[in-house]
Amino acid sequence: MSLLMLTCGTDSKPKQPVEIIKVEQPTGQTTDAAKPATKNKTILFFGNSLTAGAGIDLSDAFSSIIERKIDSLKMDYTVINSGISGETTAGGLSRIDWILEQQPIDIFILELGGNDGLRGIDPKSSYSNLQAIIDKVKAKYPQVIIVLAGMEAPPNMGDEFTSAFRGMFPRLAKANNLPLIPFFLDKVAGVAELNQADGIHPTEEGHRIVAENIWEVLEPLL
Catalytic residues: 49, 198, 201
> How far is the C-alpha of 189 from the C-alpha of 201, rounded, in Å?
9
> How far is the C-alpha of 155 from the C-alpha of 104, rounded, in Å?
39
Beta carbons of 32 and 22 less than 8 angstroms apart: yes
| Region for residue 177 given its phi and psi (left: phi exceeds 0; alpha: psi -120 to 50; beta: otherwise) | left
- H helices present in 34-111, as ranges: 49-52, 62-72, 89-100
> How far is the C-alpha of 70 from the C-alpha of 168, rounded, in Å?
30
Residue ranges with strand state E in 37-141: 41-47, 77-83, 107-111
The helix or strand, by DSSP H or E, that contains position 181, with its residue range, turns out to be: strand 180-181
R_g of the chain, CA atoms, integer Å: 16
